[in-house]
Chain A
Amino acid sequence: MSSRSKEREVAARLARHAREEGGEPPPELLARLEGDIPETISGPLRRLEPAHAGAGPAASRRWLLAASLAVMVGAGVLAHRLFETVPPPGMKQPDQAAPPAAPSAAAWSGSEKGAVPAGAGPAAQPQPPRLERQQAAAAAATGSSGVDGRHFLEGPPGGSNPGVPAAAAPSSPREEVASQPVAAPAPVKQKAQVAAAEPKPGRERTRQQSAPAAPAGGVNVGGNEAGRQSLYAGPPVGQPAGAVPAAGGQPAAPPGAGERKDAVAVEQAAGFAEAPAPPAAPAPPPASAPKIALQETRRPQAKALGAAAARPPSAPPPGSFASRGGFVETAALRTSVFGPGAGTPSYDMTRHFVLDLGKLPSPGLVRVEDFVNALGGGVSDTPAGNGPGAPGTASVRALGYLSAGSAGEGGHAAFPSPRRTYLLRFELRPPAAPAAARNTGNAAASGSASPVPPTPMSLAPPAPRAEVEFNPAVVARYRVVSADLRLGPVTATAERPAEQLSAAADEFARSASVNPVAPAAAAAPYGGAMVALYEVELQPGVDPGQASQPRPSGRPGRPAAAAGSASLAAPVATLRYAGSGGQSPRGQDLRLSDLRQSWQAAPAELRLSYLAVELAEALGVQGARQEHADWQGLLRRARALAADLPDERRARELVRLVERAAALAKLRDGAGRQEP
């Protein structure tokens, strides 16, 4: 008999025994049992649940299950946070994708022209992140020449400069020219990293070699030769850098410039021997060699956040845009170039994350340029400022921004800065793309129909270029707002001594001076509007609200006669661009009279552009502390703007985006999430 059949037989016997031996209890048994029931019944002391009847696991196993669930939930939360913190492969964090990100700010701020020699080297640039590759693809599809401003700095197609060495590549994206001298010790939280990069064949299209530099003779569209020379004209070959005199006609540095720790020592970088050294600098730079001081700023850590929470509200929060510096002394560099808005992938991705997926994007995904391009460009409303905004023309509009302390009624403290700053917006609407280009998808849709005759499509579109020349008599300092300031101050280190930095700066200056690019103002590209936002600080005593009557003679190249006496007609800045069809370069002034004194008085498209920047900041671009984001204020301003622009789709979309993002941020902050 097999084992199985034997088991079955035994089981059958057991079952038969149960049937036969069960039987009915004796009749008197129940009475006996009832008699044994005590008079007072003490029932179960524990709480009994109806589902207790064998439905759940044992108590010990319940604890085991609970512990397992807790571990799983914890792991899930950790993975989620890691996913939000660490971008997916190919999408690097801003502080990790240093080389690709660094040139961006260089394109948007003219100050980076001086920083280029030590700030970016293609030899040290890794593969660009996926986002930028997407942007590049988008730019190629639209016929634009570049993804962001750094491409704009590249020279005309085919231009090369084999003699330019690859400059030192900063290891961090937040590197910018700093006011600290080369010998200044690095702060505790700052790690100076300037790596020497050797030139590599085939990758010679560096920003240095192709940067729009004026020759030593002073080729400059605006005739602003001094400013050009201050940037690019380094000491002549064979001549000591210290022997280069200060640019003639340059106004002296405004008082108090040394107190601005975020000021850019472009003059030092370019060999200004008489550049005023910041008083706070621990060690003055040697006068024998030009200096370029690069200093990396790291994202504030959580510990610093805790300290920041206790600061007074007027102080700019650490990591915020206001605290990141990036101001450029107009006396040192009066011209800033900006490129076309070629792509919006970051904004598209953020919109998908927030509106479709219901989650906040990783801060590394947010790019200010894309937000401005997507929301701020090509908005049409009632003409304001001094530009009609027609395609092919420049739309120059300005917002008078008063700082937090003097904002007054209706003021909007965009940047909590103790200084009085204004926000300027420049927009260059490109000429309408030819029909053939539109049909082939080689041009992006323009904001509005163009009365300008279509320009014949060219396989090699002219290099898009526009520049903003600030009047040093009116503007003391400026900085770009509509782009990530990935270039932070970088200082010299033991690995990258000051002499090496100076040598790189010299080499760049020489190479730039002998490789002049085309006039800075060139044709605007096909595609979307070119929008740039600047924050400017006026010279002491210059107040648009108290300026004298207009004087027709005010030009950017002329210094102010006296502080405070600038007329309303005095230009604050001039936007230079090239007209379509090979027309001569044009210029359009932004005057003091164009500055508005309140947020409500600002043109709608300027408000929308700035709100795009503010949204990007709130979403944590460049490590801005999201805890400091004023979601309610942003939402209030966005709704007000949408009310002013009832027909503007982007304004409505901005409101929806802010509403959802604010809710998600509140949910996140309520869960006690802290950014690592």
Chain B
Amino acid sequence: MGKMGVIEMAAGSSLLGGESRRLAKGSEAQEAELLAALAAGDRAAAERLLERTYRGVFALLRRLCGDSDLAADLTQETYRKAWTALPGFNGQSLVSTWLARIAYNSYLNHLRRPHRLVPLEGKHEALVRDPAPTVDETIAKASDADRLRRAVVALPEELRHTVTALFWGERSVRELALEEGITGPAVRKRLKRALQALGRALEEGPR
């Protein structure tokens, strides 16, 4: 890692994310044109927007939940919300940032969503056997990635969003500062607090 700072680590956390960020920065004007076409009701523009952004959204959700299928479902849910909320988009951030925030909220909603599956009674349990590991089993055998993910999810909201946005959401400090309405140093302070909290949580081991 050398002497690379944590922000630089966040910026280079994902080759895909860094590449998409550069692409996004280089195509701000194209995004503006895209939004203008969307405002005119151009469906092809919506398809182009989808192609440009869905990988980043999926990657964020994949990192958050650790499950590709769940990430795909949440991605789909994210875009459904996006099409509905598109008239309210104020243009004060990139579309990718806006979509990432929707995806993040979708993931949080997924976590808060009550379990719809009713556990079977014990007499049927032997008959219907789910090959997938249960949640308890998953937690029990949590890998490092799972531990890290659980530790991130257990952070307070402002720290959690800071970590996920910077490391997994492919956003810069400036973008996050504008999104949150705070200054860049405040973002860095939040990140420092988040890393300290994560360090303590990871040292304590799986709970």
Contact = CB atoms under 8 A, between A and B. Distances in A.
Interface of A: 3, 6-26, 29-30, 32-34, 36-50, 52-54, 56-61
A17 to B, nearest CB: 5
B192 interface: yes
Contacts, number: 189
A438 to B, nearest CB: 70
Given A12-B1, A15-B9, A36 B41 contact: no
B119 interface: no
Contacts of A44: 35, 38-39, 86-91
Contacts of B90: 44, 46
B199 interface: yes
Given A17-B149, A26-B72, A41 B42 contact: yes
B62 A37 contact: no
Given A41-B43, A45-B87, 19 more contacts: A3-B199, A7-B192, A14-B167, A14-B168, A15-B13, A18-B13, A18-B14, A22-B14, A22-B17, A22-B59, A25-B54, A26-B68, A29-B75, A30-B51, A36-B83, A41-B38, A41-B45, A41-B46, A44-B87
25 contacts: A6-B196, A7-B199, A9-B199, A10-B195, A11-B167, A12-B1, A17-B148, A18-B14, A19-B15, A22-B59, A25-B55, A25-B62, A25-B68, A33-B50, A36-B80, A37-B46, A41-B42, A41-B86, A43-B42, A45-B39, A46-B89, A47-B91, A53-B32, A54-B93, A54-B94
Interface string B125-148: 000000000000000000011001
Interface of B: 1, 6, 9-10, 12-17, 28-29, 31-32, 35-43, 45-47, 50-51, 54-55, 58-59, 62-63, 66, 68-69, 71-72, 75-76, 79-80, 83, 86-94, 97, 144-145, 148-149, 152, 163, 167-168, 174-175, 178, 181, 192, 195-196, 198-199, 202
Contacts of A40: 41, 43
Nearest to B93: A54
A19 B14 contact: yes
B91 A15 contact: no
B187 to A, nearest CB: 13
Most buried by B among A21, A40, A60: A21
B58 A25 contact: yes
A42 B9 contact: no
A7 B145 contact: no
Nearest to B66: A21
B47 A11 contact: no
Contacts of A48: 32, 35-36, 39, 89, 91
Nearest to A50: B32
Given A43-B87, A50-B28, A30 B54 contact: yes
A16 B168 CA distance: 10
A349 B202 CA distance: 76
A58 B178 CA distance: 6
A6 B38 contact: no
Given A10-B198, A22-B59, A37-B83, A60 B181 contact: yes
Nearest to B71: A25
